[in-house]
Amino acid sequence: MAGYAPHTDAEVAAMLGTLGLADLDELFAVVPEALRLAGGLELPGGLSEPDAWARVEQLAGANRPCGPELVCFAGGGIYDHEVPPVTRALGSRSEFVTSYTPYQPEVAQGVLQAVFEFQTLLARLSGLPVANASLYDGAAALVEAVNLGVAASGRRRVLVSAGVTPAWRAVLRTFAAGTGHDVEEVPLTGGVTRFEDLGGPGAGAGGAPGVVVVSYPNYLGCLEDLGAARALCDRTGALLVVAFDPVCAGILRSPGDWGADVAVGEGQPFGMPLSFGGPLLGLFSCAMAHVRRLPGRLVGETVDAEGRRAYVTTLRAREQDIRREKATSNVCTNQTLMAVTAAIQLGWLGTEGLAEIALRSARGARYCREALLAVPGVEALAGAPTVREFALSLPVPAAVAVERLVEEGFLAGIPLDPDYTGGHDRGLLVAVTERRTRGEIDAFVAAVEKAVR
């Protein structure tokens, strides 16, 4: 605000007096002249508090939020699922909102137990026996999974299906530039990855892979053949990393049932609303053989000196940074509030509730897909089976259709990169969640027909 400064003149003078300096120029004299800002910053003058609020409200008013203004048919990793009042009420309690990382179990039993419950629910959902206390987001979880797989296999070659979310693959490539992993992308054929066409242990110039990464369902919404992916790993000795959709897991076989060594995912659908980039929640679980390579934190159940049930962080020394060169990972978050929120949502839904949401989404997606394919010029981009998300080819550029549909009150989906469409710009990714009604879908289809006419 106008005239705001973090320190008073008296405080600055006291600091300079303690240091034995005459003024601030003398304090910064060690900074080379070439690195100093010449002429000051070209910033407008400060505003009063009411004027600042008015400006912020003006900027916020330019947004078109999902819900009040736009009916959301976009997905691609972040979805417009229902967040029930009970999740919002419990997740916003001060006991959870204000809690810090539970270094001291004697004063943090409540939070430790809540995180332990989250781990238990995630282990059941993924079909793998051990889950950590969460990571920043799905992309970070994928990076950690690949790090684990490379360390376990001893091989740096990583085969990643092009069906993995593009943003996740971009983050993986960025980290691989530092770790030295050799990331190879396997293209899609007909919307899915043909693992059976990949070679045996010594095939390819790069040798046998150490890690194979696949999404289930993939970015185009198609169901991959995880049996073929598991067979490839068995032939080559690689670890199988499955990036799974935790909502679709309510009606699909779990990654663990398919033989995954590591399962990762994005926990945003469990109680986190749509927002500008977060907060998100990285899901991570693995086979017991890899528990000592597990990144982040792990909460375990034990008993105290009096034989009472108790919870502690285990198998790691605080943030693993006491001996950083020996650490399996230097990530030190456990996204406590998001993990607890997800546990509340999963506990509220239960097994039947999660299956109901997944099934309602799948049925809505099927109805929407069939109705859109009846629109002249709209075609399926892939013929493989889908669950709650599907890709279309439009008769006009997808970005144009999305812009037109905003004016009709819909966030129509995500324009697909030409890599997914064979080079054209008409691919659109559409998602349907349990929140979409038949009336909304019918209105959306009518708006699409108008937009592509």
Q: What is the residue extent of each domain of the chain?
A: 71-83+350-452, 85-345
Confidence of residue 1 (pLDDT cuts 50, 70, 90): very low
Q: What is the pTM of this model?
A: 0.88
The CATH number that domain 85-345 falls under is 3.40.640.10
Percent above pLDDT 90 for the chain: 76
* Minimum mean pLDDT range among 105-109, 332-336, 345-349, 390-394: 332-336
Phi, psi of 312 (to 5 degrees): -145, 155
Q: Do the Cβ atoms of 250 and 355 come closer than 8 Å?
A: yes
Q: Which CATH superfamily is domain 71-83+350-452 in?
A: Aspartate Aminotransferase, domain 1 (3.90.1150.10)
Residue 98 in this model has a pLDDT that exceeds 50? yes
Mean pLDDT of 94-119: 87
Identify the residue with better confidence: 123 or 40.
123
Mean pLDDT of 279-305: 93
Mean pLDDT of 18-30: 93
* Minimum mean pLDDT range among 2-11, 222-231, 341-350: 2-11
Mean pLDDT of 269-282: 89
Q: Give the pLDDT of residue 324.
A: 64
Residue 302 in this model has a pLDDT that exceeds 60? yes
Query: Using CA atoms, how far apart are residues 285 and 316, in angstroms rounded to an integer?
Result: 16
Query: CB-hemisphere CA count at 13 Å for 192?
Result: 17
Query: Using CA atoms, how far apart are residues 191 and 184, in angstroms rounded to an integer?
Result: 18
Query: Token digits for 450?
Result: 């108008």
Confidence of residue 321 (pLDDT cuts 50, 70, 90): low
